[in-house]
A and B are shown apart, each in its own frame.
Chain A
Amino acid sequence: MVNLVLFDAGLMGYSLAVHILLVTVGMTLPIMMSIAEFVSIKYKIKLYDVLAKRLANALIIFFAVGTASGVVVAIELFVLWPKFISVLGQVGILPLYMEIFAFFTEAIFLGIYIYFWNKFKSRMKHWLLSVFIAIGAVMSGVFITMINAFMNTPNGFNIPYYLSTGKIIDVNPFAVLNTPTTWVEIGHVIGSTIFAGAAFFLAYFAYKLLKTKGMEREYYKKAAKIAAAIVIISIILTVIIGIESITNLMVYQPEKFAALEMNFNSGPHVAEVIGGFLVNNKTVDSINIPGLMSFLATGSFNGAIASNDSLAAYPKSTWPPVAVVHNTFDIMVGIGVLIGVVMIIFLLIWLLNIRKIRDKFESNHFFNKILSNKIFSDPFDNPLVLKGLIVIGVLAGFLLEDGWVTDEVGRQPWIIYNVMTVSAAANTSPSIVPIGIAIIAFYIVVLPATLLFVRNVIKKRDLNSELGVKQ
């Protein structure tokens, strides 16, 4: 007999895991498209115009799949978790409702942007649409993250009364827009989503830079520069906000914090646990750095960690799968910081290749000698760097999924933290199983088919004819 609660959770998790990949692309594409069109208008460079048009075409295809996937996730949310959605509907659904209007903004302006491209007399007015599309895409993410923040730190109703009677009173629907974790979570989620999306594109453009030459290579180089700029800005912001979100966890979700850190200790000079597993409530095979957790949390190696930031303060029945979330958390932090450092080095090399800056340094004999090293050559022409960017693209996807698993599994067994468990919210109708399997199979086909289709659409296009070059 299938465990229907587990099946619901698995189905929802699987659908979201695929959906967030589409979201990264859907959120980043309009930003890149908008930048490309703006540069094209401002500096009258046709390659950017072509880039904007190609990105717009890719966007409409991803939009088609992304919106459909979004509907699947929304419907799953309603169908698989009826009791959760019932509470959400009475207390915290306002952000989801607002998201619809953000979504409309994106859908309507995207339709106008693409299908009525030649009806605009002024290019700037047309470009302005791309700004609204980007705002719509980002705001959709902002609103849906508000729901997630509500699940992590619920507010807006009388929780003790609900827990004792099952009835919802004292509803403040606008409180959901501003839970204690909302804004930090939004910053981290939106930053990491845009980072991952831009990193995917950067990887693709880097691959094309390795494979093309002439004008086509120039085209991909321009595209890669836009993507690289977005990656650098977003990864730095994501890491900074990520640090803030850990502090936030300590205060508002201490049990989750304790699980992520696999921490059983409190008081001064608490060690940071890196890696490891949990055997009989004891940490094994981990690397312990004495005092580091105290330092990270308080700024002092002898700083005190509160007792509620230790797993020992909670019954084992409410712990999430500790070893899983602890390791996914460590991997996320490790890879995230590593990519951040690599991209800062990348930025420095990139800046050093701007003619004016390079000229200044090259006038100095010492720097001239250093800069003549191959590592300081234009990063977009360096095959080693380009291969590195492809690796970063792959890692970015992994990082995004890893971070999402950390957040969601870290909240288990709760669907609404300390209010409702996942098992209490689940739909246990057996009719879900066959159609759930169909959804899983469908996604397996849909995502690769879409990528293949977009690849072919772009591949079949002739850059020269798009540029208006007579052959």
Chain B
Amino acid sequence: MNIYITLNYSLLAILFAFLLAEAMSAITFIYDRQSLPKVKKYLDPIWGVVGTFVVFFVVNAEVLYPSIMPYIDYLYVFPILVATLLFIGRNLFLVFSEYIWKDSKFSPLMLARVYSLITFIILLILLSIFVSIISGVGVNSTLTSFSAAAFLSNIYAVGFIVGTLLIAFGLSFAFYKVDKMKFLSPISTVIGLLLFIYSMHGLNLNINYITYIIAAAIAAVSIVYFITGKTRREAIFVAAFLSVISINFLNYGKVFGTKSLYTYLNNSALSYASVLVTIVGGVILTAMLIFFLYMYKLPEDKNNDYNNVEYKDDEQKIGIANLYIIPNNNKVNGKEHKTGKNGKR
């Protein structure tokens, strides 16, 4: 097993787990309007990190397989650029939904739903590219052209994507604790898993007992939530991570169906340097994410410095702060202040 490929697979699996959580939030926004505060509580602090992870994976892939990039660029230039454009929309609508003012004609829910739709399409595009890269569907033998028609007419490729979306829908109930018609949760998850595994067979992707164990674990999350109403988000993250990493390891070292990933692997000193950077950066990143999680779980402290601070009066003379704080005079630019007839500005 090659350390570079393993590293790249792991990053892809983490990225997919994050993206799946976002896709689930997108589905939830559309499905249940009451879920907005619950979903936003998760989404608001994390969306920036997910976006960064996308770039992390792309750059890591570029470092490890620079010679494969020209093929991917030529083959998928259109969907990649569309997804990139939509990515701007994703960020914009999410942040707009958070900061939109009260009397605006756009409600936070409406903006969040636009975000959902965009995120949903991004996931569709990324999944399509992923399926095409691992299976080779839609790509000609010389890796010079991609046929969208060939891809979309492949029932297994479509089944793979639809199956993933059904799993995401099923898990979204548990992830965001949605009560509305929660009986759909296990139904959707189980149908999605069956379709997913059937499609993997059809795509000639390897499957063994690990696949079924993970599938059973994913189904269990939905079933347990349906029965008890309780769940752990971490379980879903782990399940998503394991499922992607297992798909990759079962089809280890293959790309575009039959081609060997080793032939594209960067054998220069850069690979070694990149592993060093990944280890150092990874440790720092892990520490930051642990801190993030710690703060996320920490309850608000009413007895903090912000609530106890006694602000000084501006007229107090306080040393160097004069430069910044104390106005030298109280002049007001009367000339520039336009006043209306009633004396109001």
Contacts and interface: CB of A to CB of B under 8 A. Distances in A.
B322 interface: yes
A435 B333 contact: no
B90 interface: yes
Interface in A81-107: 82-83, 85-91, 93-94, 96-98, 100-101, 103-105, 107
Contact of B101 (A115, A353, A456): A456
A370 interface: no
Contacts of A222: 324-325
A74 B55 contact: yes
Interface string A49-71: 10000000100110111011111
Contact of A91 (B84, B270, B289, B327): B270
A449 B91 CA distance: 13
A435 B82 contact: yes
B99 A94 contact: no
A181 to B, nearest CB: 21
Interface string B33-70: 00000000000111111011011101110110111011
Given A108-B49, A109-B288, A381 B329 contact: yes
- Interface size of B as a range: 35 or more
Most buried by B among A47, A98, A105, A171: A171
Contacts of B56: 100, 104
Interface in A333-356: 353-356
B58 A74 contact: yes
A453 interface: yes
Contact of B284 (A101, A210, A381, A432): A101
Contacts of A119: 295, 298-301, 304
Given A120-B304, A383-B336, A89 B66 contact: yes
Interface string A296-324: 00000000000000000000000000000
Interface residues of A, number: 101
Contacts of A360: none
B281 interface: yes
A85 B73 CA distance: 11
A420 interface: no
Contacts of A122: 304-305
Interface stretch (A37-45, A241-249, A253-261, A262-270): A37-45
Nearest to A353: B328
B125 interface: no
Contact of A101 (B73, B285, B299): B285
Interface stretch (B186-194, B209-217, B311-319): B311-319
A104 B52 contact: yes
Contacts of A108: 48-49, 288-289, 291-292
Contacts of B311: 44-46, 49
B141 interface: no
B74 to A, nearest CB: 6
B85 interface: yes
A65 B91 contact: yes
Contacts of A97: 59-60, 63, 274, 277-278, 281
A278 B6 CA distance: 56
A118 B44 CA distance: 15
A25 to B, nearest CB: 14
Contact of B277 (A98, A111, A171): A98
A68 B59 CA distance: 15
A90 to B, nearest CB: 5
B73 A79 contact: yes
B183 interface: no
Given A39-B321, A74-B58, A431 B292 contact: no
B331 interface: yes
B77 interface: yes
Contacts of A111: 44-46, 48-49, 292
Contacts of A375: none
A85 B63 CA distance: 10
Contact of B337 (A86, A172, A213): A213
B91 A67 contact: yes
B325 A45 contact: yes
B115 to A, nearest CB: 11
Given A93-B59, A213-B333, A71 B301 contact: no
B7 interface: no
A323 to B, nearest CB: 34
B70 A435 contact: no
B341 interface: no
A90 B305 contact: no
B201 to A, nearest CB: 32
A61 B95 contact: yes
Nearest to B321: A43
Contact of B85 (A47, A101, A439): A439
Contacts of A173: 268-270, 273-274
B85 to A, nearest CB: 6
B88 A225 contact: no
Contacts of B324: 39, 222, 225-226
Contact of A210 (B268, B309, B322, B336): B336
Interface string A222-234: 1001100000000
B322 A57 contact: no
Interface in B124-173: none
Contacts of A212: 337
A64 B285 contact: no
A209 interface: yes
Contacts of B103: 460
B287 to A, nearest CB: 10
A97 B112 CA distance: 32
B1 interface: no
Nearest to B79: A435
Most buried by A among B58, B69, B99, B102: B99
Given A104-B56, A110-B48, 16 more contacts: A60-B99, A65-B88, A78-B73, A90-B268, A91-B270, A94-B270, A97-B60, A108-B288, A119-B301, A211-B336, A225-B324, A353-B328, A427-B74, A431-B78, A435-B82, A439-B84
Interface of A: 39, 42-49, 57, 60-61, 63-65, 67-72, 74-76, 78-79, 82-83, 85-91, 93-94, 96-98, 100-101, 103-105, 107-112, 114-123, 168, 171-174, 209-214, 217-218, 221-222, 225-226, 353-356, 378, 381, 383, 427, 429, 431-432, 435-436, 438-439, 442, 446, 449-450, 453, 456-457, 460
29 contacts: A44-B311, A45-B321, A46-B311, A63-B48, A65-B92, A68-B90, A74-B55, A74-B59, A85-B69, A89-B67, A93-B270, A94-B274, A104-B52, A109-B288, A112-B45, A115-B45, A119-B300, A173-B269, A210-B333, A217-B332, A222-B324, A225-B323, A353-B328, A354-B328, A383-B333, A383-B336, A429-B77, A435-B85, A439-B84
Interface of B: 44-49, 51-52, 54-56, 58-60, 62-63, 65-67, 69-70, 73-74, 77-78, 80-82, 84-85, 87-88, 90-92, 94-96, 98-99, 101-103, 266, 268-270, 273-274, 277-278, 281, 284-285, 288-289, 291-292, 295-296, 298-301, 303-306, 309-312, 314, 318, 321-329, 331-333, 335-337, 345
List of 8 A-B pairs having minimum Cβ-Cβ separation, nearest first: A89-B66, A82-B70, A68-B88, A107-B48, A111-B45, A64-B95, A101-B281, A64-B91
